[in-house]
Amino acid sequence: MAVNPVYHQTNDRLQEELTIIKEAKENPERFGPLYTKYHEQIFRYIYQRIDDEDLAFDVTSQVFVKALKNLHKYEYRGVPFSSWLYRIAKSELYQAFRDRKARKTVNVESMHLFEMIEEFEEDDSAGNKKKLFQCLSLLKDNDLQLIELRYFEKRSYREIGDILEITENNAKVRAFRALERLKKLFMK
Partner 1 sequence: MEKIKTILDRKPVSSDYIKSKQDFGKVIKGVKALSPPVYKSAWFYGAVGVAAVAITVAAVTLTGSDAPHDKAQMDTSQIASNLPPEDTNAAPLVEKRESEQDRSETKQEVKKKIEVKSKPSEVLKTAENEPDVERLTVMKKVEEIVPNLDSDMPHISGISSGPIDFKDFCNPLGIQVDNGVLIYRYTIQYRSCARDVTANIRGNRIPQTLCDEIRDCGNPIEISFMNIEGQDRKGNNILLKDFTVVTTL
Binding site for partner 1 (CB under 8 A): 28-29, 31-32, 35-36, 39-40, 43-44, 47, 51, 53, 57, 61-62, 64-65, 68-69, 103-110, 113, 133-134, 136-137, 139, 144
To the nearest whole angstrom, how small is the minimum distance from the Cβ of residue 113 to partner 1? Answer: 8
To the nearest whole angstrom, how small is the minimum distance from the Cβ of residue 137 to partner 1? Answer: 5
Report the b/e string of 6-25 with b at 16+ CB within 10 A. ebebeeeeeeebeebbeebe
Q: Strand, helix or coil at 124?
A: coil
To the nearest whole angstrom, how small is the minimum distance from the Cβ of residue 103 to partner 1? Answer: 5
Closest to 178 (Cα-Cα) out of 145, 156, 152 = 145
Eight-state DSSP code of residue 111: H
- Closer residue to partner 1 in complex, CB, 28/91: 28
Q: Cβ neighbours of residue 89 under 8 Å, at least 6 residues apart?
A: 42, 45, 46, 59, 60, 63
To the nearest whole angstrom, how small is the minimum distance from the Cβ of residue 97 to partner 1? Answer: 9
- For residue 57, the tally of other CB atoms under 10 A from its CB is 15
- Closer residue to partner 1 in complex, CB, 30/87: 30
- Closer residue to partner 1 in complex, CB, 151/157: 151
- Closer residue to partner 1 in complex, CB, 4/169: 4
